[in-house]
A = this chain, B = another copy of it.
Amino acid sequence: MGTYNLEYPKDATNTVKRYNAHAVYALETIHQIVNTCQILHVSFNTSSQPFPVVLPMIGQMGSFDRPSADVGDPLELYLHGYVSSRMMNTCKNSGNGDVDGGEQEGMPVCVSASHIDGLVLTLASYSHNYNYRSTVLFGYATHVKDDAEKLYAMELITNSVVPDRWRHTRLPPTKAEIQSTGILKVRITSGSAKISAGQAHDDKTDMGNEAMLDSTWTGVLPIHQTMGEPMPSSYNRVDVPSYVSEFVGDFNRDNTQLSLDAAEGARRAL
Task: List residues of chain A with CB under 8 Å of any chain B CB.
Answer: 12-13, 17-18, 38-39, 41-45, 48-56, 58, 82, 84-86, 108-112, 114, 116, 119, 121-126, 128, 130, 132, 134, 136, 138, 154, 158, 161-162, 165-166, 168-171, 173-174, 177, 181, 199-202, 206-207, 209, 212-241, 244, 248, 256, 259-260, 263
Asked if A177 and B55 make an inter-chain contact with CB atoms under 8 angstroms apart, the answer reads no
Asked if B217 and A240 make an inter-chain contact with CB atoms under 8 angstroms apart, the answer reads yes
Chain B residue with Cβ nearest A241: B217
Main secondary structure of the interface of A (DSSP, over half): mixed
Asked if B221 and A248 make an inter-chain contact with CB atoms under 8 angstroms apart, the answer reads yes
Q: Looking at the complex, which one of B84, B121, B134 makes contact with A162 (CB distance below 8 Å)?
A: B121
Asked if A219 and B212 make an inter-chain contact with CB atoms under 8 angstroms apart, the answer reads no
Please give the count of copies of this chain that the complex contains.
Answer: 2
Tell me which residues across on chain B come within 8 A of A39, comparing CB atoms: 114, 116, 130, 132, 134
Q: Looking at the complex, which one of B51, B170, B236 makes contact with A124 (CB distance below 8 Å)?
A: B170
Q: Looking at the complex, which one of B125, B219, B256 makes contact with A169 (CB distance below 8 Å)?
A: B125
* A121, A199, A206 — most chain B CB neighbours (10 Å): A121
Counting from the closest, the 3 A-B pairs by CB-CB distance are A52-B52, A41-B41, A200-B233
Q: Looking at the complex, which one of B169, B222, B225 makes contact with A123 (CB distance below 8 Å)?
A: B169
Asked if B219 and A233 make an inter-chain contact with CB atoms under 8 angstroms apart, the answer reads yes
Tell me which residues across on chain B come within 8 A of A201, comparing CB atoms: 233
Asked if B165 and A108 make an inter-chain contact with CB atoms under 8 angstroms apart, the answer reads no
Asked if B110 and A54 make an inter-chain contact with CB atoms under 8 angstroms apart, the answer reads yes
- 23 inter-chain pairs at a CB distance below 8 angstroms, sorted by A residue, are A17-B86, A38-B116, A39-B132, A43-B43, A43-B52, A49-B108, A49-B138, A50-B108, A51-B109, A56-B134, A119-B227, A121-B162, A122-B233, A124-B169, A125-B166, A126-B181, A168-B215, A168-B217, A170-B209, A219-B231, A219-B232, A221-B248, A223-B225
